[in-house]
Every structure is written in C-alpha cells, then in structure tokens.
Amino acid sequence: MSHEITLRQEILERVKAIYSLRKSEEEFIPGKTKVNYAGRVFDEKEMVAVVDSALDFWLTLGAEGREFCEEFKKYLGMKHCLVTNSGSSANLAAISALCSPIIRNPMKEGDEVITTAMTFPTTLNPIIQNGLIPVFIDIEEDTYNIDASKIEAGITDKTRAIVFAHTLGNPAEMDKIMEIAKKYNLYVVEDTCDALDSIYDGKKCGTFGDFSTYSFYAAHHMTMGEGGAICTNSLELYRAALSIRDWGRACYCQTGERKPMGACGHRFDFKFGDLPEGYDHKYVYNNIGYNLKPLDIQCAMGIEQLKKLPEFTETRKKNFKVLYDCFKKYENKFILPRVLPKAEPSWFAIPITVKEDAGFTKRDFVTYLESKLIETRMLFAGNILKQPGYKDINCRVVGDLKNTDQVMNRTFFLGVYPGLTEEKLEYMTKCIDEFFKE
C-alpha cells in the first residue's frame, strides 16, 4: 500500500509539472491568437483532482459526487442537490419530477407551462417531452428576460408552471414572478445554467423557485467538463428528481455503500403494487426515468472549481464592465443590457443588440469581430419557433414576440469569462473602436 502511495504522489507531481509546462507556453498574440468567448479556467488543482479520482478508479458516482453536492447546496443555501451529466439533463429531470406520480400534485399531459421562445433549446424541450403545452410570452428587449408583466395574460385554468432562464446571468424579476406563482399556485423552475452566483434582492438566483438547474459545461461559470445539478428545498421533489435521474427507481438509499440489505436495511421488506412481496427495492420503478448521472471524476473537478467561484464571479463582473463601458460610447448604435434595480448579475456574457438604424447589421458587426479572431455567439435559439425542429410543436403564443424576434435578428453576445486577460480585453475594445473608425 505504501508503495502505491509513493507511486501516486509521483504521478500527481508529474501532473503538476505538465500543468506548469503548458502554462509557461501560453501566449497571446493580438490578431493571431483566437479570443474565445468562454472556456475552462483551471490550474494544477483540478488536474490533480481528476487524475487522483481516475486512479481511485471508482468511476461511477460516489464519494466525490456526495461531497460536491454537500458543498454546492451549502454554497447556495439549499436543502437538496443532485448532480447530473449536463444542464440539459438537470432540466429534463426537474420538469419530469414535476410530472411524477410520486408527488402530491403532478402536472399532467396537456397542462400549460408559461415560458419564452427566446430560449436555450433544452430549457424548453423537457416541457414538450413531458406532453405539456408551452405558452410563449415575449421577453424584455434589454434584460433579455421573461417579461413578468406579460405572464398573467398567458394564464388559464390549465397553467401549472413558469419555466425560464436568467438570461446570460442577468436575474429575472423574481419578486413579481414569485408573486404570480403564489397567486395562481404555479410551480417555478429557474434555469440557472447561466446565472450561478447571480443575486436578486440579496438572494442567490436559483433559490426562489421549486427547482433550480445548473450547467457545468466548459463554457459555464464553473465546470466539470460536462455536468449539471438540480437544487430544491422540497424533500418530495428531490426524491422524484432522484428517481428520474436514476432510471426511475423507487429506492432512494445512498448508493455506493455496498450494504447487502441496502443502506436502510429493508431492501427485501416491502410490497409494491402487483410485484411479489419482498421484491428487491433496488429494482422497483415508480417513475419512467433515465440515467442522467455524471462520473465521480467530473465531481472531483467540480469540488475544486467551486472553491474558485467567488473569484471567477468578481472577474466576470470586472470584464463585463470593461466591455460595457466600451459599447456605451456607441449607445446610438447598440442597445446595452439593462439590470433590474434589485439584481446583481454574475454575467455569463455581454448581450448586445444592434439598433435598427445603426447603419450596419448584426451580421456586419459579428463578421468583423470574427475576422479579428474575436468569438461571437448568438443569443441561443433566437426565436425558437423559427427553428426547423420546432415548426410543428403544440404550443400557444400570447401577444406578439417582438423582442424575441429582435434578438433573433439583431442580438449577439461576447464573452466575459475569467480567461479573458487584460491584454485580450484591450485587444477586444481596440477592435470595437476601430470598427467605428474604419
């Protein structure tokens, strides 16, 4: 065993050396090196954590997953957390859990869900996948968030939930949304995939609704490579989401303990439905579920990334300000993002809309930036109803989707992630200024 400890230490020291070597070779040459809009920001600690976990060779979700969940829910001040293999899976498990027969008041096929058509596809998809009807309302043109003042117009006696994302980290109007949800007894799912560490009225985004979901894809506020999480304060909803994530099984005992009779000691002691008396609880399915679990190796990385989150958030805010101040000089050409008085965003990116009379188009501007090797991105699906895969979905649209269409036609975003060094930001602002000189 002691020989293994020595070998392991040697390996981990070599891993640190590889990190240092790569770091020392990093170079930014303006106009030659690509300026990414996002990316993983890490040091030797993440590399060591991942290799160490790989050497354990436990592989499937286990101790690192449990530790990550403990730390993550503590960070948010939530009661329950589940890790998933992506933010999309987190959304799927959360919405499916709200349709689960094991909760007291599940949503049923044909029920309506208020949401936006300016969306990331997998915020919407679980609504469709569960046979629910999305009811689309417009967004605000400058916060890019669900327009809370329009929600009530979409509510009927079939409405059961409000599902939305805090767009690019900008908190939605949570007090108004929660007030409406309470008035009409609606579930609220906060897609917080782009808004980890954003705050509304002194509370973290993701802590208001019934469920919040997170993505740890490499572009996000912190990363596991791929990965996600679901948080809730309800034990009932947590158990439903856990079952959906884990094949639909009924047993919610902690896994990985390898106790023959299960962690509860009652594996063969129950009678379920038409199954024989004492049928193994591990193989009882009370939901139609999936397998949406990540690997323990991913969680090992997540534990290290979470420690860096406060620092990442500060840098995101600083980087946003640099780009915001630059675009502010051209306010006659662009619509700049607006933040609600109670909101404190931890920006995922900076959204910019080219004004109709700017004298150039979004395409002109992003083509210019890309030619300078500055990555740009669209605000996700734009108006998802115009996307080929969504042509025939069963849905309802309330009012017009003017601002949604505007995003599709004239909005793009630039990164603000902590990997943007001062020299990269300087290059970006210089290129933006030059566009107006040319």
Ligand X SMILES: Cc1ncc(COP(=O)(O)O)c(C=O)c1O
Q: Which structure tokens are listed for 131? A: 């046979």
- CA 228 to CA 384: how far, in whole Å? 23
Pick from 206, 189, 193, 185: nearest CA to 79: 206
Nearer to ligand X, 37 or 120 (CB): 120
Indicate whether 428 belongs to the interface with ligand X (CB under 6 A): no
Which distant-in-sequence residues (6+ apart) come within 8 Å of 304 by Cβ?
42, 45, 46, 49
- Catalytic position from the list 166, 220, 221, 281: 220
User: How big is the site for ligand X, counted in residues (CB under 6 A)?
Assistant: 14
**Residue 379 — φ and ψ, nearest 5°?**
-75, 75
Stretch that binds ligand X, among 188-196, 263-271, 291-299, 414-422 (CB under 6 A): 188-196
Tell me the helices (H) and strands (E) count for the chain, helix number first: 11, 15
- Minimum distance from residue 425 beta carbon to ligand X (Å): 23
State CA 122 to chain mean position distance: 10
Q: Is 238 exposed, middle or buried (0-12, 13-18, 19+ CB in 10 A)?
A: buried
Indicate whether 217 belongs to the interface with ligand X (CB under 6 A): yes
Indicate whether 228 belongs to the interface with ligand X (CB under 6 A): yes
- CA 322 to CA 317: how far, in whole Å? 9
Q: Which structure tokens are listed for 75? A: 């960070």
220 in active site = yes
Cα–Cα distances in angstroms (integers) from residue 58 to residues 50, 61, 62, 65, 295, in the given order? 12, 8, 7, 11, 9
Nearer to ligand X, 116 or 333 (CB): 116
Stretch that binds ligand X, among 43-51, 85-93, 296-304, 331-339 (CB under 6 A): 85-93
The partner residues of 199 in beta bridges, in order of sequence, read 204, 344
Per-residue mark of binding to ligand X, 122-141 (x: CB under 6 A):
xx------------------
Nearer to ligand X, 228 or 262 (CB): 228
Stretch that binds ligand X, among 82-90, 244-252, 324-332, 416-424 (CB under 6 A): 82-90
Nearer to ligand X, 111 or 190 (CB): 190
**Residue 344 — φ and ψ, nearest 5°?**
-135, 90
Indicate whether 194 belongs to the interface with ligand X (CB under 6 A): yes
Nearer to ligand X, 51 or 188 (CB): 188
Q: Are 124 and 384 in contact (CB under 8 A)?
A: yes
The total of other beta-carbon atoms located within 10 Å of residue 392's CB is 6
Stretch that binds ligand X, among 145-153, 190-198, 199-207, 231-239 (CB under 6 A): 190-198
- Minimum distance from residue 43 beta carbon to ligand X (Å): 23
- CA 225 to CA 147: how far, in whole Å? 32
What residues between 232 and 251 interact with ligand X by CB under 6 A?
none
Stretch that binds ligand X, among 120-128, 329-337, 362-370, 386-394 (CB under 6 A): 120-128
Indicate whether 215 belongs to the interface with ligand X (CB under 6 A): yes
Nearer to ligand X, 48 or 301 (CB): 301
Among 62, 65, 87, 289, binds ligand X (CB under 6 A): 87
Among 94, 193, 300, 432, binds ligand X (CB under 6 A): 193
Indicate whether 165 belongs to the interface with ligand X (CB under 6 A): yes
Indicate whether 301 belongs to the interface with ligand X (CB under 6 A): no
Beta strands in 166-309 (DSSP E): 187-191, 199-200, 203-204, 211-215, 228-232
Cα–Cα distances in angstroms (integers) from residue 369 to residues 32, 66, 362, 428, 435, in the given order? 13, 43, 11, 8, 9
Indicate whether 88 belongs to the interface with ligand X (CB under 6 A): yes
What residues between 95 and 114 interact with ligand X by CB under 6 A?
none
Nearer to ligand X, 42 or 216 (CB): 216
- Minimum distance from residue 129 beta carbon to ligand X (Å): 14
Helices 422-437 and 296-328 meet at what angle, rounded to 10?
A: 40
Which positions touch ligand X (CB under 6 A)?
86-88, 91, 120, 122-123, 165, 191, 193-194, 215, 217, 228
Q: Which residues are catalytic?
A: 220
